[in-house]
Structure 1
Amino acid sequence: MSRARSRRVHATLAALAVTAATGAAVTLPEAAAQPRASAVAGGADGYATQNGGTTGGAGGKTVRATTGTAIHAALCDRAAADTPVTIEVEGTINHANTKKVSGESCNTAAGVIELKQISNVTLVGVGSGAVFDQLGIHIRDSHNIIIQNVTVRNVKKSGSPTSNGGDAIGMESDVRNVWVDHTTLEASGGESEGYDGLFDMKDNTRYVTLSYSVLRDSGRGGLVGSSESDVSNGFITYHHNKYENIDSRTPLLRGGTSHIYNNYYVRLNESGINSRAGAKAKVDHNYFKDSKDVLGTFYTDAAGYWQVSGNTFDRVTWSPADDEYDPAGPNPTSNTTVSIPYPYTLDSAGCVPDVVGRTAGAGTGLKVSDGRC
């Protein structure tokens, strides 16, 4: 499919397939004017470009690490907690090789990759790849962080061993400007098997982008806000991610603003995007397949809101509404408007399974959409 390269193009697509509970194809019109601008090649995009931008360890030295202890040492060996550093990671990082390291420029702990009270750090998988096995990445009271091309798997909050409260990647306490890109985040079950969320943000976390990542085989995809009163988080972008075999929270939004576009959702087993407690989500050109109740306000009477455009619903089923369960379907319509402050590219929803299948996850060569399918 031919696509213009200008920063903004006014285009009208003929139709996008939307499948109701019966599986029959229905079409929904989309807005005629669509954003058509790409981020700088190789750099952060989405809300991570706001609030001064996200550059990670750019301009600092590069250090190679093959253990969790070496990652901590690279943080602690800096002149100060804000001295830029890029940490290239290769191999399997686990509990046995992740110890606490002390220093004035770090605040680390054993059994978790601790990015705490620091800034200007890039953590990137290289070579044969980086796998964080049963070991979570915890970002706390930090800003300007990039995590790229890593796999984080089977992080537990109960059982043994435990790490990071059961979150693959967790952020909390005044975190700002994080870009997580081309990662694979996975579990082997839900809460009853000892796992929690794959990508959680709480306690005043803002300006985050999750892009070109795979989240799979978990009870919980991730949340923004730990409770109905934790609504200081927000300005989160999710794009070109694949959510596969997830029970719920793709994501769960409590307050704040999120932009969710060009994601591929397959086998959401209980519910999907859960906007509640006043949250606003712009849900653009996503592809939902073989899933249940993929958008709405669920498990609460504290309503959230959404603006929808150009999404495809392929064999999606919808439940009846009740006092605490309000699906957006079977024919989702907007109940708010969301203004997006940055330029971005939209792939057509019909291309999303192909594009995301070729580009998302660790070990894909950091490939991104070229606008074709």
Structure 2
Amino acid sequence: MGRARARRARGAVGALAVAAVAAAGVVVAMPQASAAVGGVTGFASQNGGTTGGAGGATVRATTGTQIHAALCNRADSATPITILVEGTINHANTAKVSGESCNTADGVIELKQISNVTIIGVGSGAVFDQVGIHIRESKNIIVQNVTVKNVKKSGSPTSNGGDAIGMESNVRNVWVDHVTLEASGGESEGYDGLFDMKDNTQYVTLSYSLLRNSGRGGLVGSSETEVSNNYLTYHHNRYENLDSRVPLLRGATAHIYNNHYAGINESGINSRAGGKAKVDNNYFEDSKDVLGTFYTTTTGYWQVGGNTFDNVTWSSPTSDYRPAGPDPKSTTTISVPYAYTLDSASCVPDVVSRTAGAGKGLQVSDGNCTPQSPDPTTPAPTTPNPTTPGPTSPAPTTPPPSGTNLSIGAGSDGSSKADGTSYGNVRDGNMATYWSPAGTTGSVSVKWGSAITVSKINIREAAGATGRIGAYRVLNGDTGAVLASGSGAGVITFPAATLSKITFEITGASGAPQIAEYETYAG
């Protein structure tokens, strides 16, 4: 019944280590900020936070073997690394690689007994085709902007027990963001879960992702007595054409908010074996039994608020099948330790359709139902890339530039912002407003929707804060190349560069910098 419907639609990123990775065929960049974009949210922000490979080297991989080589050639299993993935990862190019800092296997991306890793899709895309991502006995992992599809547990080829992304055995702090996880059928066609957690997996966030066309969305806990998994957040995801397990929640506390459920064919959020689900401002439509305790007599609990139920049908309860509807009421009270902002359920289908999944520009909601580009997770590096040095400039003394300030009407982002300040303040033409980092160093960028040519910037400090800016770098935000470096604010010139983003990075200051205007000029 539900599976038949599902099947029909399913048709329709020390020197020796760097050198070793390069020898394995991986393109190497020097250490830089984590490629992960946006701040980690939900329970993955707790327990010390989730930073992935921030602060480590960045490498590029176009095969699964190169991903394994990057892991295996680190100084040790905890050395931070960001792996930028482009192209298609499949069985033919995913082989076991051996090393002191890894434990890999053929036919699966194995993140086993390691920590401090970011994997992010870049370029024209990263597709893991019939190859799953297995996270085991590991911590501090980020997976972002990739597609994982058609991973099988039976038939040929098989990978990762049939899970697109699977976590098990003492896993801690995983952030999976802006991914697409999909299958082409249910268990009878050889597929299992899209996003599974087992055997003491904790502090996980799944955000802005698309899960579709599978019999099983994902489970938490492999049996009614396996209740060691905990502290999970699911937000701004789209669950589309799935039979069940969105998620199946055994024993854990989960915060489930601002998700769009469309075409849940058999059962939805299945809280059981003492599981607790805080279900806020989700939009459920064209679905059946979207919340309850299903297929068991071991009860779970929920707290509901602000949800929309649009064309949702509810079955009559039995001893082992207890839907929460047709008028869902809270059966417990759940608090979460982190801050979050809820979008109204009414706008969830729109904002999720524009942000969730790989290849969506990593956009996030601003909490007011409007997608926006996220802030970078960490500041840019303080050590210039020796392969792309820029000219060093003395403290600028030239007069203000003439011509059109290209920053007016552009966009902006940065590494951090102090309370009460905004990235947008540097491009509003108002010297009374300013941006300040959360500390004495940080970066702010101006960006455009398409590439333009820039050869001069003017950094104007706010009144009362002049002279605070010390060492700086000007970076091509598209490539990371250093355009200029020096000290002090004012006019900075450099060879004309065509780019869509330009970053002013403060690496030293005598106090909290305050940039009132970040002007950009073509000449």
1:287 lines up with 2:283 in the alignment: yes
Q: Deviations over 1:129-173 (max 9, x none)?
A: 100000000000000000000000000000000000000000000
SS in 2 for 1:47: helix
Which residue does the alignment assign to 1:19?
none
1:238 lines up with 2:230 in the alignment: no
Bigger Cα Rg:
2
Is 1:119–1:144's contact at 8 Å kept on the other side of the alignment? yes
Moved beyond 3 Å, runs of 4+: none
Is 1:300–1:325's contact at 8 Å kept on the other side of the alignment? yes
Alpha-carbon distance in 1 for matches of 2:47, 2:254: 15
Which residue does the alignment assign to 1:338?
334
Residue 53 of structure 2, aligned match among 42, 50, 57: 57
Residue 151 of structure 2, aligned match among 145, 155, 162: 155
Which residue does the alignment assign to 1:190?
186
Residue 98 of structure 2, aligned match among 102, 111, 114: 102
TM-superposed deviation, 1:256:
1.4
Which fold has the larger relative contact order, with Cα–Cα distance below 8 Å and residues 6 or more apart in sequence? Answer: 1
Which residue does the alignment assign to 1:217?
213
Alpha-carbon distance in 1 for matches of 2:76, 2:358: 30
Q: TM-score normalized by structure 2? A: 0.63
Residue 313 of structure 2, aligned match among 302, 314, 317: 317
Q: Deviations over 1:286-307 (max 9, x none)?
A: 0000000000000000000000
Identity of aligned residues (%): 79
Alpha-carbon distance in 1 for matches of 2:279, 2:333: 11
1:92 lines up with 2:88 in the alignment: yes
Alpha-carbon distance in 1 for matches of 2:41, 2:345: 20
TM-superposed deviation, 1:41:
7.4
Is 1:91–1:128's contact at 8 Å kept on the other side of the alignment? yes
Alpha-carbon distance in 2 for matches of 1:114, 1:357: 31
1:180 lines up with 2:176 in the alignment: yes
Alpha-carbon distance in 2 for matches of 1:351, 1:323: 36
Which residue does the alignment assign to 2:11?
none
TM-superposed deviation, 1:372:
2.8
Q: TM-score normalized by structure 1? A: 0.89
Is 1:43–1:55's contact at 8 Å kept on the other side of the alignment? no
1:227 lines up with 2:202 in the alignment: no
Q: Deviations over 1:108-147 (max 9, x none)?
A: 0000000000000000000001000000000000000000
TM-superposed deviation, 1:186:
0.1
Q: Deviations over 1:31-61 (max 9, x none)?
A: xxxxxxxxx9712110001100000000000
1:249 lines up with 2:257 in the alignment: no
Q: Deviations over 1:296-341 (max 9, x none)?
A: 0000000000000000000000000001000000000000010110
Alpha-carbon distance in 1 for matches of 2:252, 2:151: 27
SS in 2 for 1:229: coil
The residue type equivalent to 1:372 in the other structure is C
The residue type equivalent to 1:129 in the other structure is G
Alpha-carbon distance in 1 for matches of 2:88, 2:325: 43
The residue type equivalent to 1:293 in the other structure is D
TM-superposed deviation, 1:351:
0.5
Alpha-carbon distance in 2 for matches of 1:160, 1:122: 29
The residue type equivalent to 2:122 in the other structure is V
What are structure 2's unaligned runs of at least 5 residues? Answer: 1-35, 371-523
The residue type equivalent to 1:331 in the other structure is D
The residue type equivalent to 1:135 in the other structure is V
Alpha-carbon distance in 2 for matches of 1:226, 1:66: 33
Alpha-carbon distance in 2 for matches of 1:123, 1:194: 26
Which residue does the alignment assign to 2:497?
none
Aligned residues: 334
Residue 160 of structure 2, aligned match among 164, 179, 191: 164
Is 1:182–1:212's contact at 8 Å kept on the other side of the alignment? yes
Alpha-carbon distance in 2 for matches of 1:372, 1:192: 39
Is 2:37–2:362's contact at 8 Å kept on the other side of the alignment? no
Which residue does the alignment assign to 1:329?
325
